[in-house]
Amino acid sequence: MDTTLPPIETFIAKHHVMTLATARENLPQVCNLFYAYIPEEVCFIVASDPKTEHMGNVAENPAVAASIVLETKEVGRIEGLQLKGTMRPATGDEGAAYFRAFPYARVMNPTLWAVVPHHMKLTDNRLGFGKKLIWNRAVSE
């Protein structure tokens, strides 16, 4: 039984914005996106216009990285998630999760995407200085 995913998901549930990193032709780009998290799929659903630079990058290179952080100056409270994964169009069921989290977004008719992590690392200093919890998606998933 995986014991690292539940505390990572607890952290994810406390937040709603991720910083997403993409790259194309060795040129990195970042953006901030609201997300809805689907625990059954271990994926994040985000909204973004396909015409943006970061989505142009994803069209050519679906590999992404992202972070979610608790903003604090107290060293003992530092928490942050880093992830690596891929990005793809969201399905209809996944989109429903996004609209449950952000019902007002429906009127904008956004294009929805799934960020599917294959590696997540949570740093949580509340568990001890520099304590890290690592989760990796099983190869068969």
Determine, yes or no, domain membership for 105.
yes
Determine, yes or no, domain membership for 22.
yes
Determine, yes or no, domain membership for 97.
yes
Question: What DSSP element (H or E) covers 69?
Answer: strand 63-69
Determine, yes or no, domain membership for 131.
yes
Domain hosting residue 73, numbered range: 5-136
Determine, yes or no, domain membership for 141.
no
In angstroms, how far is the first alpha carbon of the chain from the final one? 15
Determine, yes or no, domain membership for 52.
yes
Which amino acid is located at 60 in the chain?
A: E
- Which tens digits make up the pLDDT trace of 56-82? 999 999 999 999 997 767 666 678 899
This prediction has a pTM of: 0.91
pLDDT at position 1, please? 57
Match 């590999």 to its residue by tokens: 63
Determine, yes or no, domain membership for 132.
yes
pLDDT at position 2, please? 73
- Which tens digits make up the pLDDT trace of 83-132? 999 999 999 899 999 999 999 999 999 999 999 999 999 987 766 676 78
The pLDDT confidence band at residue 141, using thresholds 50, 70 and 90, is: low
Determine, yes or no, domain membership for 96.
yes
* Neighbouring C-beta atoms of residue 92, cutoff 10 Å: 7
Closest CA to 124 of 135, 138, 136: 135
> Tell me, what CATH number does 71's domain have?
2.30.110.10
Q: Report the number of distinct structural domains present in the chain.
A: 1
Residue 29 has pLDDT above 80, yes or no: yes
Residue 37 has pLDDT above 60, yes or no: yes
